[in-house]
Homo-oligomer: A and B are copies of this chain.
Amino acid sequence: MASEEYTKEAVNAVNRLAKRGAYDYATIHTLFNTSPILHVSFIDPTHPFPIILPMIGCTGSFSSPSSDPNASPQDIYIHGYVSSRLFKTPTTSATEEGLPITVSATFLDGLVLSLTPFHNSCNYRSAVAYGYASLVTDSDERMYAMQKITNNILPSRWENSRVPPTRAEISSTSILRIKIHSASAKVRTGGPSEDRADLKNKELVKGTWTGVVPVWYQWGEPMPGKENEMENVQGYIEDWRVKESQLGRVKAYEAIEEEGK
């Protein structure tokens, strides 16, 4: 699998609790493509604090659109209203390769409760990618990315709404392409770990519930907008939101059963 993963180097190596680390395309790209929110960070040279923006996006490969994201390198396409801030950033921080940027996808899968607060933890899956961002200027690539991002969040929505976008829409949409330099994932699974001394304390053990409270994104019953004229929610929307919630639930419970890491 060595050819199907990101190279481990200083910036992306998971050092602490290294067994929780993963570098393969499948794990990392799946996290970016299933997290409904990505956090994007970049440096604004006008002050000392990095910027963090919540945005939406997914992986893609415009030059090789049929490539399998589980087995091939990908770019990350990001779309967001706030991206104007990104590109007002003085170019001093951007290199020829683009603006250095970090993208993170995080799922919380559960709260892990042990006998003592010190051993409480969380089950989670998170990916982080370091790369260089550029504004997509080519209309075809913008269209590719808009379609990809729309259908990544809700499959078939693109075909089931008014497309193609108008020229004005295409020209006023900011799409970022991030060339990934390196990436890694980190996953925590299992139940609580305990100190031996605490386990010997029978009163404590008998009086303290320990285990995991699972958590997932629940997509609820859709609410029609003021302009909606369809009596029922379309099947592909219902199917998606029910399946997505079930998948989140299954992942959260599976994480508990997996060998702890």
Q: Does A256 contact B (CB under 8 A)?
A: yes
- 11 additional contacts (CB under 8 A) given A17-B81, A212-B223, A220-B249: A11-B44, A16-B82, A16-B84, A39-B104, A43-B48, A117-B146, A210-B225, A211-B222, A211-B224, A213-B237, A216-B218
B211 & A223 in contact (Cβ 8 Å cutoff): yes
30 A-B pairs with CB atoms under 8 Å apart are A17-B81, A36-B111, A36-B122, A37-B122, A37-B124, A39-B52, A43-B43, A43-B50, A49-B130, A50-B100, A111-B219, A113-B154, A113-B225, A114-B225, A115-B227, A117-B146, A120-B157, A162-B201, A162-B204, A210-B224, A210-B228, A210-B230, A211-B228, A213-B241, A214-B220, A214-B222, A215-B218, A215-B219, A220-B249, A223-B256
B42 & A100 in contact (Cβ 8 Å cutoff): no
B191 & A225 in contact (Cβ 8 Å cutoff): yes
Given A37-B108, A153-B111: A214 and B223 within 8 A (CB)?
Answer: yes
- Contact of A54 (CB < 8 Å), options: B84, B126, B157: B126
A96 CB → nearest B CB, Å = 12
Give the top 4 A-B pairs by smallest Cβ distance, nearest first.
Answer: A218-B218, A48-B100, A191-B225, A50-B50
Q: Does A10 contact B (CB under 8 A)?
A: yes
Q: Which of A16, A49, A108, A118 has the most CB of B within 10 A?
A: A49
Number of interface residues of A (CB under 8 A): 108
Q: Which residues of chain B come closer than 8 Å to A224, judged between CB atoms?
A: 209-211
Q: Does A192 contact B (CB under 8 A)?
A: yes
B229 & A211 in contact (Cβ 8 Å cutoff): no
A209 & B234 in contact (Cβ 8 Å cutoff): yes
Residue of B nearest to A214 (CB): B220
Given A217-B218, A218-B218: A50 and B54 within 8 A (CB)?
Answer: no
- Summarize A's interface: helix, strand, loop or mixed: mixed
Docked CA distance A41–B102 (Å)? 9
